[in-house]
Structure formats: structure tokens, C-alpha cells
Amino acid sequence: MKTFRFLLISLIMMGMTNYNNIIAGSRNPLLFEINEVVRFNELKPEHVKEATEEIIRQTKESIAKISEIKASERNFDNTMRAFDLAYHKFSNVSNTLYLMAYTHPDSAVRDQCLASVDMLSRFDNEITLNEDLYRATHEYSQTSEAKKLTGFKKKYLDDRMRFYALNGFNLSKEKREELKKIFDKITSLGLEFSANIASVKDVLELDETEMDGLPKEYKDQHRTESGKYVIDLSYPSIVPFFQMATNENARKKLFMLYLNRAADKNLDLLNRLLLERKKAANLLGFSTAAEYIIADNMAKTPQKVWEFENSLLEKVKPKVNIDYAELIEVKRKYTNDPNANTINEWEYRFYLNKLLKEKYEVDNQKLREYFEVNNVINGILEICKQLYGVSFVEKTEAPVWHSDVKMFEMISNSKVIARIYLDLYPRNDKYKHFACFGLINGVKIGKNYQIPTAALVCNFPRPTENMPGLLTHDDVVTFFHEFGHMMHFVFSQAELAGQSGISNVHEFVEVPSQFFENWAWNYEALTLFARHYKTGEVLPKELFEKMYAARNVCSGIDANKQIFYGMLDMTYHDKFDPESNISTTEILADLQNRIGVFKYTEGTHMQASFDHLVGYAAGYYGYMWSKVYAEDLFSVFEKEGVMNKKTGLRFKKEILSKGSTEDENLIIRNFLRREPNQDAFLRSLGIDPQN
């Protein structure tokens, strides 16, 4: 299934709207009018249920109207645009419920949202396989008007027809019914898989001796009344622990706990999910799930992906060896063991942290003092203002879903052009990672334009009475990454919702996000916000230069890890038989031992919490694929000025605002004014592209 195929989180689904069916002034906060602010604070389970039933009814009604049009009377507006608006409206509700299922503080609302997302996903499968819609689209494609289409309209029609071809409309009706049942299973299994990860509440209880090496601030946050320490599995808890805890056994216990999240439930679910995907692909005439999924991507074939991954693996290998040797040197010195020659995975961050502090004089804890969370927010907004000519106004009285959430309006020429939400801190039952959720796509509705709305969901350290929220530089890079997604989503100027925001082919989606990470590494940009939380001192140039010099410390190891994730995903979807006697854990262990830097740790099941297996099925390779494009695009700013507004405005116009109105390869070439290459990407890893 291609529309809701992935339930993309860090990506984003589509948006919606035939607003005539929405009752003006409706008290259901999910049934909102054009450009109305969503009243998240009023959301109740009954609203979710009502809106779910109502949007299904309205969408069915819209599809029926489109289907009833005579073939001779079809035109772009009454067939293609009418479907786009109906699906936009449907997606507004489904996207919003998807976000609420993983962030709303009320368990009753979350549970109802999750149930509704499942229901809407199943209905989306019905839309995907709706014969009347296919017939209507096919009839329109045969008209003289359709054959004369150009630009975004032609691309939209071509994409829809290819979509139908990839979703089984060459199959019999009976086979399509079978396919729908499989799609429904895939949807439900994926939702359950993600929900199991989100609901993990495992903690590690430790005594005083097991907390050696950790700063007082961290210990104070995790000490219980009994005198014991409780470490949860959120990023603000585990990262400092892996970096600084001197008790290796405690680090290993936390590592084992972390890599076994949801394993009791998700190992079986994953096997079933992979089996259903394989069934769907086979039914559609593809030999593997990867072959089916990638057919609609830039890579086109699994073979191209394998060639890309294996080629990259070889190119980073020399850097991996250099990185590993540096870590071994640190371990030998620390343990006073000249024969030490192995780094275990739970030791990586510990010895990396020591390497940064001792050889490169980079103290991550000291750097945190310059990255107070509100300063970082203001800095990102200022950078966007200078690059893209927009400003942001915080709406402190906005009806948000939790008191942690901030809402901003994005302004251009005194006009609101987008709304963004920031949900920054961890809490129980909230989505555990970092992601941009698209809520409402931009779309032209009559003479008006529905402004885009999106939310960033993060898990940064929460401020306390005695300490503000301080971010590591890695956190800052992550923030820039997700904000890059946000800007891609909200700068869209596409007429059609189906071409708006992050509606691109898979490998392009991560380009703007990885591109924007570069500003977190630029001193001119950092001076706009990197100030000491106590003194207000700007991040000293000397400290920045040490940090920058250390940027590529272990870059080969980190690149290898991303390649491993991509190859694991591809192996599961292209070379693994879920009905064989081999388990997903055996596949994981074999691959990690063959290509990974750190050998597989017996008893761990990382794949059970690898949520990208739901969101990026046979697509994780896209992170590295898009990184090549992202660095190439950034090389233009390196030549013309990182804060060059003229270049920024051109990037906004030629990359961010396009959506999928043009072929992505053409979009990239037009901005570069040449063919893309890997040189800038390899340089970003500290690898000479000429070698």
C-alpha cells in the first residue's frame, strides 16, 4: 500500500478538505474549518470517535460524487482536484489523531485515538483499492484535456495512475479483496508495534556505587526517597549514563535493558509484519517486499540500493579503522591494559566521551551550558528569519494538548503562512524519539490557501527548579534536523494537498532535514544563540574550534552504523523468509558480526524497538542516500555564505516550497545548476573524495 504505506512519523502524511461539509462553529475540535486553530485542549474520547465516523462518512460521500460524474463530463477540477481535497480533509483528521495517539496526556484519549487511527488506516486501504475512484481517474486520463496537461497537474495524474498500477488494479476483484485484507493486517501490526515501544516503562534501579562518574545534577534527578537511583530509558537519562558512568557492569545492564525494549511483544509482531508485506508484494507480482516498495522510489530497484550500501561501506572502512584505533588507545590507557583490543557496544559512548575530552579537549557537559533549550529555540527561529525572510510569534494562549507545548505562527509580509507546535520534553506514555508530525498540508481551496500546520515531538532534558533545560550539542543537531523537516512541510506552496509538504519520494524526504543540521556546526549561526545559561557569554571561538575539530571523531563508526541499519532493513525485506526457521535475531546477529563495528551482544533484540521498520520499511537506506544530496546542496551555501539571505530565499523557492510538484532529481539539479555528486558528503565525514 502506498498512501498510508508507512504511517511515516518523521515524514508526514498528507492533508485534507471539502469544508462545505463541516458545520460552522462545530464544537468537535477535530472538525475544524479552513485555517482555524485546532482546539487540542478540548479533545475528549467522544470527539475522537465522532470525528472518525464523520470523516469516513464525508469521504465516502465525496468519492460517490466523483464516481457519479459521466466520463464525457470529467475534468481536472471535478475529478482529480475533488479527490485531492476529499483526501486532504480525511488526512487532516487521521494525521491529528495519529499525533494525539502518541502525545496526549489522557490515556482514554490516546486509546481512542489509537483505535481510530487503526480504523482510519483500514478505511484508507479501502480508498487505495476503490474501483470507482480508479475508474474515475482512468476515465479522466483518457480525455483530451488530460492528454494536454502540463506541469504539476500532469505529474499529479501520472503519479495517481502509477499509484494504481502499484496497488493491484491489474488484479482480479477477488485478488484485490485479498490484498486489502493483507494491507489491513500490515496497518494494525505496524500500529501495535509502535504502540508497544511507546508504552515501555522499564527502568533500571541502581545503588550508589553504580552511579560513580555521574554528575551531582544527574544523580539528584534520578535519586528516589529510598536512596536508590532509577534510570528510565528516555534519551536524557541513558545518554549521559553511557557517557559518564564508570561502572561498566551498570552500563551493560542499562544497555541490555535498552536493546530489549518491547522484545516480549514485538519479535513476534515483526515476523508477522514481514510475512504480510511479503504476501502483498508477491500478490502484486514482486518477488520481495523491497522490490515492491522501492519500485516507486528514486532507487527503483533493490539492486541499486545494495550497490549503494556496499559501495559506501567500502568507502568508509578506512575511516572506521582509524576511529576504532583511537578508541582502543583510550581504553588501553584507562584500563591500564596494553592488550585491550576490543570495544563492546555498551562501552562506545564512554570511551568516545573520554576521547573527546582528553585528546580533543571537548567536554560535552561544559558545552551543554551554552545550549539552554529556549535559547536554542530562539536561535533556530532567528536563523530561519535571516535565511528565509520569515518571523515567528509565540501564541502563549493557544489551545495546546499539554502545558509543555509551545505554538508559534510563522509570518511573512505581515501574513500568517504557517503554524508550528513544539512538544519538547519526555513524559509517561509519550512518543519516545524525535520526529516532525505533519498535521495539515497546505492546499489551495477556491481563492483561499489552507496554511500548513506541523508539530515537532522531542524528548529533551526538562528544566527543573534549580537547573534550566540544557542540551548536548548532539541534541542541538537533532533539533535542527527535525526543524528542517518542519520548514520543508510549512513552506510548501503547492496547489494540491497530495503534492504539498513532505509528499516527495522516499529518499528526498530527509534531504532538507539533514541539510539544516549544518547550521548547528557553523560558528556564525551558533553565535546567534549559543550563550552560557548563567553569564550570557557567547560560546567562545576556541571552544567551538575544539568542538568542530572533533566533528569527525568516529564519523566512520557512526556512518557504518547507519549503513548497518539500512542493510538490516533491506535484509529483512529483500533476503529474509519470515516462514523459515531462521529468526530475525539470527539475521541481526549475523549481519552485525559481518559488517558492524561492534559485535552482536548475545541476548539483545534491537530490532524489537527499531520503529523505522514500521515507518521506513525497505527505506532506511534513504537516510544515507539523502545525506549525499543534503551535503551537496549545502556546498552551495559554503561557497555563497552560510547566512546568505539571497541563497536562502532561492533554496526556499527552489527546494522547500516545491513539494512533489516536480521530479525530485530535477529539483536538486536546478538548485545545484549541475549534476549532484558525493564529494561534499565524503568530505563531511572527513574522507578525501579523491582517494
- The catalytic site residues sit at 482
Angle formed at CA 198 by CA 606 and CA 345, multiple of 5 degrees: 25
Q: Are 7 and 366 in contact (CB under 8 A)?
A: no
Check residue 7 and give left, alpha or beta (phi > 0: left; psi -120 to 50: alpha).
Answer: left
Q: 371: which strand partners?
A: 531
**Sign (positive or negative) of CA dihedral 418, 297, 85, 155:** positive
Helices 263-283, 173-198: inter-axial angle, 10-degree rounding: 160
Long-range contacts of 568-572 (CB under 8 A, 24+ apart): 568/592, 568/607, 568/610, 568/620, 569/610, 569/612, 569/613, 569/616, 569/617, 569/618, 569/619, 569/620, 569/621, 570/290, 570/302, 570/305, 570/306, 570/309, 570/618, 570/620, 570/621, 572/274, 572/607, 572/613
Check residue 413 and give left, alpha or beta (phi > 0: left; psi -120 to 50: alpha).
Answer: left
Helix (H, G, I), strand (E, B) or coil at 552: coil
Q: Are 569 and 619 in contact (CB under 8 A)?
A: yes
338 CB-contact burial (10 Å; exposed 0-12 / middle 13-18 / buried 19+):
exposed
Which phi and psi (to 5°) does residue 461 adopt?
-60, 130
Q: What is the DSSP string of 226-279?
A: TS-EEE-SSHHHHHHHHHH---HHHHHHHHHHHTTTTHHHHHHHHHHHHHHHHH
Pairing between strand 448-450 and 443-445?
A: antiparallel
Other residues' Cβ atoms within 10 Å of the Cβ of residue 334: 15
Other residues' Cβ atoms within 10 Å of the Cβ of residue 463: 15
Q: How far apart are CA 104 and CA 430, in angstroms?
A: 7
Which phi and psi (to 5°) does residue 681 adopt?
-60, -50
DSSP annotation of 351 reads H
Nearest to 88 by CA among 498, 411, 397: 498
Q: How far apart are CA 620 and CA 195, in angstroms?
A: 20
Q: How far apart are CA 278 and CA 287, in angstroms?
A: 8
DSSP annotation of 531 reads B
Residue positions counted in the chain: 691
Q: How far apart are CA 591 and CA 585, in angstroms?
A: 10
Q: How far apart are CA 376 and CA 240, in angstroms?
A: 20
Q: 229: which strand partners?
A: 206, 223
Q: How far apart are CA 681 and CA 308, in angstroms?
A: 14
Pairing between strand 204-206 and 229-231?
A: antiparallel
DSSP annotation of 42 reads G
